[in-house]
Structure 1
């Protein structure tokens, strides 16, 4: 009966595909439209070449709104992975490695310059969140150590200007600590993100889909997202930097 009930929901693989899709749409707006067509960051050769900027700004707004739903899903899946992984240390090493590998594509796609110290990619945020979870897991009964790690990681995220900053780390911590109370975890996480930026209220669909999770991992390639993240950012930079000026 338990397996049959679970089959009615969505496995983690479907949640991940949802998050990847809306994240990609968000980056179409943040990179191709904002960086290369509208704002001209890094002296983009295609900037200002669109005939109807108002239309593209509206399109960008829609894409960015859709993209708000990605982060809560990734945080939720991070917590699920941390709870069920065989080796939290190996998981952390993978996140840290791809945080470093993704930084150059991230800088190019989101600012058209390197280095761009004002903003670091989301893998850094997730890695800091996972580090906090590992401290909690290794110190049962001494939750103060986990809470101290949560505060330190949130501060580090803010100082390093990682994607979502301190709010992102706090969301991971909240989802982990309240993983047995998903409604409360979702409500508090949304509140944290909304306090950081009002636009994050559009992340509601991303929180709602979490209630459809059936507890199953589903069929998925462990490394697909790790590779896809820097690869799609690099592709967007190549399109914006070299293809847009030719086709516009």
Structure 2
């Protein structure tokens, strides 16, 4: 895959025991395009689930790609050189906590109090990555605890966290072993989804790495869309 200057985390040199893949990169515009695809699929999946009683098998299957794509987009940004030193992880956790809380009333109406919505899933994944990147035995233990406890509380549970961690590990150091971890983590979503449609997100991401889409970043729209569309769906459901 061709390198795109300035748009990829710097790979860590691999050892003789972990064969490296070809250098891997993704343009910022392509990452933004992936997020737009995931947003459209998420909206369709939620309309199908809450307003159409999951009558469309196609919308359901397409919607299984949403979590892996958004998880990848987040992990890709967290893996950028200098992200930890710049405090990106802490800022992201604050945003996810705030918007996740704002989304909770509508989410509770639609789903219930448990599990917590997907933004808290991404929050737990970010916390685990933050602790692992900080390093040290105590932080690794805390990361394991956050994974175990947090995974029991959030949407898509531990498979979602495995999907995110696999993406993060691969982006930081693209090796065959880490790619296998990412694939298996994504495949584990079948326990919840009832199918392996989530795996279709991986070739979609791989294909995006070969194209440089001229899209500008629009971070706050994605944050605002989640609680807004859940609230609209809850109002539509209540009006029935």
Aligned to 1:205: 200
- C-alpha separation in 2, matches of 1:63 and 1:70: 11
Is the CA contact 1:132–1:146 (under 8 Å) kept in the aligned structure 2? no
Where in structure 2 are the equivalents of 1:1-248 lying within 5 Å? 2-3=3-4, 11-34=30-53, 58-59=55-56, 61-84=57-80, 85=83, 86-87=86-87, 88-108=89-109, 110-111=110-111, 116-139=112-135, 142=136, 147-160=140-153, 162-179=154-171, 180-181=174-175, 183-194=179-190, 196-197=191-192, 199-214=194-209, 218-242=215-239, 245=240
After superposition, give the CA deviation of every residue in 1:152-208 in whole Å (9 maximum; x if it has no partner).
223223432x110122112222222232237424422223222x3352401122121
Number of residue pairs the alignment of both structures matches? 210
Contact 2:151 2:161 in 1 (8 A): no
User: What's the CA shift for 1:32?
Assistant: 1.3
Gaps of 5+ in 2: 6-23
Query: Greater share of helix residues, 1 or 2?
Result: 1
Q: TM-score with structure 1 length normalisation?
A: 0.74
Unaligned runs of 5+ in 1: 35-56
Q: How much has 1:236 moved relative to structure 2?
A: 1.0
The answer to whether the 8 A contact 1:135-1:145 is kept is no
Please tell me whether the aligned partners of residues 105 and 234 of structure 1 are also in contact (alpha carbons under 8 angstroms): yes
After TM superposition, the runs of 4+ consecutive aligned structure 1 residues lying more than 4 A away are 1-10, 144-147, 215-218
- What CA RMSD, in Å, does the superposition of the two structures yield over aligned residues? 2.8
Question: Is the contact between residue 65 and residue 199 of structure 2 (CA under 8 Å) also seen in structure 1?
Answer: yes
- 1:146 Cα deviation (Å)? 5.9
Shift of 1:2: 4.3
Go from structure 1 to structure 2 and tell me whether the alpha carbon gap of 1:149 and 1:7 turns closer, same or farther (over 3 Å shift): closer
Native 8 Å contact 1:73 1:210 kept in 2: yes
Distance in 1 between the 2:35 and 2:150 partners? Answer: 23
SS, match of residue 152 in structure 2: helix
Deviation string, structure 1 residues 37-59 (Cα, Å, up to 9, x no partner): xxxxxxxxxxxxxxxxxxxx542
Deviation by residue 1:66-109 (Cα, 9 ceiling, x = unmatched): 1001011111111112123432211111111111111112122x
> What secondary structure does 1:119 align onto?
coil
SS of the counterpart of 1:178? helix
- The farther-off stretch of 22-31 and 171-180 is 171-180
